Structure 1
């Protein structure tokens, strides 16, 4: 299967308050479809080969997978801080860019119209914040920061599958808090913490500047293949139920 195709989403983002320039990376399954779509929201370090392979993995699972590059207009250094702030505010340019990607998938001739969202790290926060937007039929939250007003954010949320690492010092206790909040909201959910995993454990390789990678490892950040395999199995099963087996929206 080829690496995801680079596409231009600017015409869907710019007129609606999104990025003036927006690049997306689209991976499609083999065959003729139609398939459900999944918007992929990347980590705080941006689009790299690891995130492209995650997108490709979703295509192998049977989804049109589209990852918008939220740092297209301005680059990682200029966009990282405002995008992280937007992730927890629930509004801003990045949300318009995610909507542009969702619209592209919904309009794609090979789409069933059903669409999910999956996010990693920073992207996990976006996936959680958009779960109640009414635009997605399922959300996968992977080591995403939790919003302060969680009960308010999760009202009427779509089904959520979430994965956290027990060795993730930045997000200690997040899995239990999210599980309780989703239960209070009456949202269908599957939340699991993997005791031996840390932050970014779903990645298949170390990321970030090479000199800093040993520091990341010491902080508990990086791949944990056994936990990742189990988490992907849960995501695949959850998405199959809520995206593949449900009637297409409206």
Structure 2
């Protein structure tokens, strides 16, 4: 039988992880265990939630989607993963947004490079992530937006994006890429870095091209994102006269929203989440 673009075993050999990821619906990446007792779990009552297949260049990728069980013309929010993949925390963020009336969808953006959910530590994951081209990610996010359109109950005219860590950087990049984006919220995403063929630009390089207002949420005690780089980004945004802004939580470390890890800071996480919702509402993602 001929293979079609929606066939996960189709051209280019994108791996058949729809079935594999389906078994991770309540799981975490190996590298982030043990899991904190503070982990928040949002149930699926009243929601339609689970993995779907997104047609992309060369085949399909899996994505976790959550939305209210009824309704149309729902605002669409892209949820961009950490380096650990689309594990239980990212899925839960989608369900939290769905409970508030959003169609939230998290595409698995490392599909062509490897399955990071089974790797034992960050040192094993980083070489995989380094191979992921920004251009591929932008294309896959565009494809996800197209999938989530009116045929699936979403209104891509009310499009937002939020991402964590690796996904925070991608949030800034997508705001410079897609002129249809209404707003973004970037949680502790890297702002500067050494360029490579796969990742040629940093968010700081692209300030002048940012088309949608982005709210950046950063920790003052982040040992992976120096505070001076956050302040550089703040200054560049102010000089550009844009609508983006950055909030710094002085006592928060990296990963302060990640309630499944020891870095979780409930007060900063709750304040950031409230700001996210207000930011989306103020900028047309509602």
- Is the CA contact 2:110–2:132 (under 8 Å) kept in the aligned structure 1? no
Instruction: Supply the RMSD in Å over aligned alpha carbons.
Output: 2.3
2:129 to 83, 87, 91: 83
1:166 maps onto 2:220 in alignment: yes
Deviation at 1:106, TM superposition (A): 3.0
Deviation at 1:53, TM superposition (A): 0.7
**2:238 paired residue number:** 183
Equivalences for 1:123-202 in 2 at 5 Å? 123-133=167-177, 134-147=179-192, 150=203, 152-157=205-210, 158-173=212-227, 174-202=229-257
- Rounded to whole Å, the distance in 2 between the matches of 1:197 and 1:30 is 36
- Rounded to whole Å, the distance in 2 between the matches of 1:182 and 1:30 is 39
Equivalences for 1:1-250 in 2 at 5 Å? 1-2=43-44, 4-9=49-54, 11=55, 13-15=56-58, 20-73=59-112, 74-76=114-116, 80-84=126-130, 86=132, 90-91=134-135, 93-113=136-156, 114-133=158-177, 134-147=179-192, 150=203, 152-157=205-210, 158-173=212-227, 174-206=229-261, 217=262, 222-244=263-285
Query: Structure 1: which 5+ residue stretches go unaligned?
Result: 207-216, 246-250
- Rounded to whole Å, the distance in 2 between the matches of 1:84 and 1:55 is 25
SS at match of 1:118: strand
Larger Rg: 2
Ranges of 4+ aligned residues in structure 1 off by more than 6 Å: none
- Is the CA contact 1:119–1:127 (under 8 Å) kept in the aligned structure 2? yes
- Is the CA contact 2:172–2:203 (under 8 Å) kept in the aligned structure 1? no
SS at match of 1:155: helix
- Rounded to whole Å, the distance in 2 between the matches of 1:186 and 1:52 is 35
Change (3 A) 1:225 1:70: same
- Rounded to whole Å, the distance in 1 between the matches of 2:203 and 2:165 is 17
Deviation at 1:190, TM superposition (A): 3.0
- Rounded to whole Å, the distance in 1 between the matches of 2:285 and 2:203 is 28
Higher helix share: 1
- Is the CA contact 1:27–1:56 (under 8 Å) kept in the aligned structure 2? yes
**2:15 paired residue number:** none
Q: TM-score, normalised by structure 1?
A: 0.80
- Rounded to whole Å, the distance in 2 between the matches of 1:237 and 1:131 is 18
